[in-house]
Structure 1
């Protein structure tokens, strides 16, 4: 995508944002996750700097029939030519119903005409349909925990992970599915999840359905016995940044040290094709 096309897309995104802000003007109804991103987008459009700005993330708080829903939105730089990443959350929804709600919303978004802003359409769909899933939630039980399942560990490699919306969903889904591991945002982005194979696979189906430049499961480890398999005691986001100007590239030495601490340094070469070197203290 050339600079002119990117500027055109960003201008459309800002126009849509202004319209949303005129609709959700009360305090807390619409939140830009990182106000600096908005500043950088405007500077890029005005050619104040040459840095390609980060993707725009926002949260829209909706009240539907006295129930509160959070709509998390990530606008990739190709938007509106491609679909945005959109997720809905509500505390009354269990995991099964939350998954169905977001799958149906995704299907609705994918069927919309590309090239046109569509966040208002997503909002309208949530307002018209969201309470249906709350009503259904008491009738659907999450039985996955009662099913015996051998453990697996997935190692995910992404071209980059910057979006706060995506990072939040990576963590939320992992915790909801009782998975351990870590997410290392930046360029490249690395994610490790471990736990019941069924839950690992469900997590991966959800995460890879987002809009990514490039993401794939590079390594899958499977074991028959959970003993001596699990390397992590929780799921967390970690950060090992270098001192480059944009502060978005990982420090490979610190990552290697982190893997060493968790007794899985052997994976470094499989991930990156080179032997890991520990950072000196």
Structure 2
């Protein structure tokens, strides 16, 4: 399996795992005697990021169950070796995951009804992604305004979430920071479409008391020049957040939200 393909699959599995609500479970299923240790790969991805070598040794597809406590119906999903979320630049055909409905005592009619629901929903997602791609291509031809966003949560501790924030900031070419611990604070700035996608990615994960404080046009820079602002950072203290925003000329955006104070050092 190509490294890029494996990395994309692990990225989606990590996002799915982080999005599970209480009572929901993702459980990998063995499909062959030489089955790939997908739980270990996902754990390593959460800690260290995408794999850099030996991806060609991975031959068994990812297969897992999605279950909800006390529900008699569940889904079994298999990602084909060439699975990707969209067609590549060569025009390769969109590869969909295989989704099967399982259940205790599920009749033939009920099974067919559930499978029809799955097919309809997958077609909806596929169609919406094609539409989004077309809109993105059209938007790319227009100058993009810079936006910024501020989010807070009860806490930000999970290594998987912190790793995802770093990866998304790189992929979407945005700058910003995360304040880890209690409370969690996330700030980002970049092209409007990229900031909105970054916020959407965050909202798709499971959080305690996540609040999107704002997503809006960024004011003209009044602090350090944009080119000197660096990429993604992490802070441990609220005072560091205020100091960083002061350095960027954006201090009021956190102080007015009750994060720190103008005199914080």
**Would the alpha carbon gap of residues 68 and 150 (structure 1) be closer, same or farther in structure 2, given more than 3 Å must change?**
farther
Secondary structure in structure 2 of the residue aligned to 1:192: strand
Q: Counterparts of 2:241 and 2:50 in 1: how far apart (Å)?
A: 34
2:5 maps to: none
Q: Counterparts of 2:84 and 2:239 in 1: how far apart (Å)?
A: 48
1:154 aligns with 2:108: no
1:131-182: per-residue Cα shift (whole Å, max 9, x none)? 685x645337973544312111101111111122221222222221221111
Provide the TM-score with structure 1 as the length reference: 0.50
**Would the alpha carbon gap of residues 213 and 150 (structure 1) be closer, same or farther in structure 2, given more than 3 Å must change?**
same
Instruction: For structure 1, list consecutive stretches of 5 or more residues without a partner in the other structure.
Output: 1-7, 35-55, 72-87, 89-104, 241-250
Instruction: For structure 2, list consecutive stretches of 5 or more residues without a partner in the other structure.
Output: 1-21, 92-132
| 8 Å contact kept, 1:156–1:217 | yes
| 8 Å contact kept, 1:256–1:277 | no
| 8 Å contact kept, 2:150–2:186 | yes
Q: Counterparts of 1:57 and 1:272 in 2: how far apart (Å)?
A: 32
1:169 aligns with 2:164: yes
Provide the TM-score with structure 2 as the length reference: 0.53
1:197 aligns with 2:183: no
1:138 aligns with 2:90: yes
1:79 maps to: none
Q: Counterparts of 1:60 and 1:23 in 2: how far apart (Å)?
A: 20
| 8 Å contact kept, 1:182–1:236 | yes
Secondary structure in structure 2 of the residue aligned to 1:266: helix
2:207 maps to: 212
| 8 Å contact kept, 2:178–2:234 | yes
Q: What is the deviation of 1:210?
A: 1.1
Q: Counterparts of 1:278 and 1:179 in 2: how far apart (Å)?
A: 26
Q: Counterparts of 1:272 and 1:129 in 2: how far apart (Å)?
A: 47
Secondary structure in structure 2 of the residue aligned to 1:155: strand
RMSD of the TM alignment (CA)? Answer: 4.9
Q: Counterparts of 2:182 and 2:36 in 1: how far apart (Å)?
A: 33
| 8 Å contact kept, 1:152–1:200 | yes
| 8 Å contact kept, 2:36–2:58 | no
Tell me how many residue pairs correspond in the alignment. Answer: 191
1:41 maps to: none
